[in-house]
Amino acid sequence: MAYPTFYAGQRLTASLMASTLPLTVIKAADESITSSTTIQDDNHLTLAVAANATYLLEGTLFYDGAFNAGHLKATFSLPAGATIFWAINAPATGGTAAYASDANTTGNLVAGTYGTGGAKTTASILGTVTTAGTAGNLLLRWAQNASNATATTIYAKSWLRLLRTA
């Protein structure tokens, strides 16, 4: 379905208005990865995207892992021909108070971990997604950046949102 164009005097229907709403997914359960750097699909953070569309991407990951070990690396899976430019704003690796803001079009971005059992660490995601002629899913994929016996966990209530702009 093409992104709607509104005209003066046009009758606004529920389906027309619904087609302009943001797409949002909220993670339903905690998910952990232990001793693995192999990227895997997140069990919850998936959104359907239309063909030939442009979206603004935003989200927040609530996560933790062993202090200055394991860390979190993330990427997205997209439909064939789609492109993404995104950033993850989160603590840097290295165990200091540094903050990383990395942007990428392909590959993984990394966020540091600052321990478990206390306040969760947050990673903010911002970006743009442009699809080509194939509809499909935008899917968060992630793992530990360095294998560690203490789990890296992304917690329930983490979320992603897409706002279609074209």
Q: Kindly list the structural domains of the chain, giving each domain's residue range(s) and its CATH number in brackets, ordered by start.
A: 31-164 (2.60.120)
Host H or E run for residue 8: none
Residues making up the chain, counted from first to last: 166
Q: Is the pLDDT of residue 166 over 60?
A: yes
Contact between 65 and 148 under an 8 Å Cβ cutoff? The reply is yes
How much is the pLDDT for 153?
A: 96
Tens digit of each residue's pLDDT (9 = 90 or more) over 39-61: 999 999 999 999 999 999 999 99
Contact between 69 and 148 under an 8 Å Cβ cutoff? The reply is yes
